[in-house]
Amino acid sequence: MKVRLTSAGWRRRKGKGFEYFFRGDVFEVSEKHGAHLLKSKSAVDVDAVPEEAPAADPADDVVAEAFAAADAAITDDTPPGDAPERPKNAANKDTWVAYYASVRGKAPAASMTKEEIMAEVG
């Protein structure tokens, strides 16, 4: 059975490792796995669905705008001393909150943990 994946991702065993598939990929599966994917609405049967252009994901536009804004903010004449120094991983949460505010221009959500703040601003 030939299916087109509609979920974010799927993997199956291939030898000692895995074979990975992502949204939009078309691939062959057994009838058993195909039935499971169709029932869970993770894939559609290629033969049963007419070929259509995939709908644009609004998240793609948001990501593209964020990258464009970040690129526009970067200038060659910005002296390296203006960038805030990244705290050490062992620094307390208050230090990371101050760093987040200096990088993002706003304070993080009160519910964010130190690890979440670190992941957001790197």
pLDDT at 36 over 60: yes
* Phi, then psi, of 13 in degrees rounded to 5: -65, 140
- Orientation of helix 93-104 relative to helix 114-121, angle to 10°: 30
The span from the CA of 77 to the CA of 82, in Å, is 11
- Where in the chain are the domains? 1-75, 84-122
Q: What is the chain's mean pLDDT, rounded?
A: 81
- pLDDT greater than 90 at residue 102: no
CA triple 120-68-57, angle to 5 deg:
80
DSSP H helical ranges for 2-75: 31-39, 58-73
pLDDT at 10 (0 to 100):
87
Separation in Å, CA 116 to CA 82, 89, 121: 24, 12, 9
Give, for 72, the enclosing helix (H) or strand (E): helix 58-73
pLDDT tens per residue, range 70-81: 666 665 555 555
- Please check the confidence at residue 90 and state whether its pLDDT lies above 60: yes
State the residue for tokens 């065993």.
Answer: 13
Strands (DSSP E) contained in the chain are: 2-5, 9-14, 17-22, 26-28, 43-45
SS3 18: strand
